[in-house]
């Protein structure tokens, strides 16, 4: 299906998943503004995809910095005026976050760069998108806009050796499952795509070769199917799509309440806190 005339803002498009998603969007007629820390890499992607006409624009960004993200967003907004899709894809892998020097004196601050990029950066992008979407009317599919962050199966399952990355992805899953249900009332959708191991630059070739040999490597085309399924008129919001080996794309269900009292407690939280993120319901069409 063609989505000619629509636009997208995507972080992390210079390589890996972001590059693949950018290419898929362009093939569907969507103009894309790629924001990436690696500007030369992003420009190379644009050069590759702009052979048939201008389809990709680029801007440098540090997603962990609010001012940088806002500036990149405003650059895209000035060009496109209306933005229909937002893809917070930029992310980095685990690093040694907790100091591991038992013989040292004093205390060192933990390195939370992974959290700042993979969690805070996503929240910044979501915030920019929501503020922009609220200022525009629904498109021909009935939506003000759609947001599709990349999370990970680390947002569902526990991976002991990568605690900060796992914490960040759990946070993104939690954001999507909670806020996504509220935003739907404003004709804004928020869903996460959560891949298993997929060949990108976040790990080594040896790791991916081993995963492929074991049958647990997810083909990039399967990941793209998840994103494609959320384009256009799909009303889904507040859901997380796992891209699993052999099974393909599946919506991962919420963990059920352990008992009725636990559900009642959650209902109380909703009643008490709903005003904090209450949807804007006015006479907008």
pLDDT of 198: 92
pLDDT by position in tens, the chain (length 285): 789 999 999 999 999 999 999 999 999 999 999 999 999 999 999 999 999 899 999 999 999 999 999 999 999 999 999 999 999 999 999 998 888 888 888 888 999 999 999 999 999 999 999 999 999 999 999 999 999 999 999 999 988 999 999 999 999 999 999 999 999 999 999 999 999 999 888 888 899 999 999 999 999 999 999 999 999 999 999 999 999 999 999 999 988 999 999 999 999 999 999 999 988 876 555
Nearest Cα to Cα of residue 37 among 92, 84, 76: 92
Beta-ladder partners of 241: 193, 251
**CB contact at 8 A, 172 and 129:** no
pTM (two decimals): 0.94
pLDDT at 283: 55
CATH number for the domain running over 7-256:
3.40.50.720
State the pLDDT at residue 105.
Answer: 84
Spatial strand order in the sheet of 248-251: 192-195, 240-244, 248-251
Q: What is the pLDDT of residue 284?
A: 54
Q: Which residues contact 272 (CB under 8 A, 6 or more apart)?
A: none
Cα–Cα distance for residue pair 243/257, rounded to 1 Å: 25
């Amino acid at each position: 299906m063609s989505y000619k005339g629509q636009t997208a803002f995507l972080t992390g498009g210079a390589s890996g998943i972001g590059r693949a998603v950018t290419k898929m969007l362009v093939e569907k007629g969507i103009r894309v503004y790629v924001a990436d820390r690696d500007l030369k890499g992003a420009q190379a992607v644009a050069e590759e995809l702009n052979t048939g006409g201008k389809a990709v624009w680029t801007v440098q960004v540090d997603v962990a910095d609010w001012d940088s993200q806002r500036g990149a967003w405003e650059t895209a907004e000035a060009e496109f005026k209306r933005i229909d899709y937002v893809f917070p894809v930029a992310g980095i892998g685990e690093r040694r976050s907790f100091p591991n020097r038992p013989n040292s004196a004093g205390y060192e601050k933990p390195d939370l760069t992974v959290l700042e990029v993979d969690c805070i950066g996503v929240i910044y992008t979501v915030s920019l998108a929501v503020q922009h979407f609220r200022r525009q009317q629904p498109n021909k599919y009935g939506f003000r806009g759609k947001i599709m962050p990349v999370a990970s199966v680390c947002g569902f399952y526990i991976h002991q050796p990568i605690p900060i990355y796992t914490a960040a992805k759990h946070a993104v899953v939690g954001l999507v499952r909670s806020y996504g249900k509220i935003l739907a009332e404003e004709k804004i959708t928020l869903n996460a795509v959560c891949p298993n191991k997929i060949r990108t630059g976040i790990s080594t070739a040896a790791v991916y070769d081993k995963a492929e040999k074991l049958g647990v490597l997810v083909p990039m085309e399967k990941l793209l199917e998840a994103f494609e399924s959320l384009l256009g008129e799909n009303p889904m919001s507040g859901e997380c799509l796992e891209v699993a080996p052999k099974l393909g794309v599946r919506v991962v269900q919420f963990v059920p309440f352990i008992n009725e009292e636990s559900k009642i407690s959650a209902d109380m939280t909703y009643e008490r806190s709903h005003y904090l993120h209450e949807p804007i319901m006015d006479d907008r069409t």
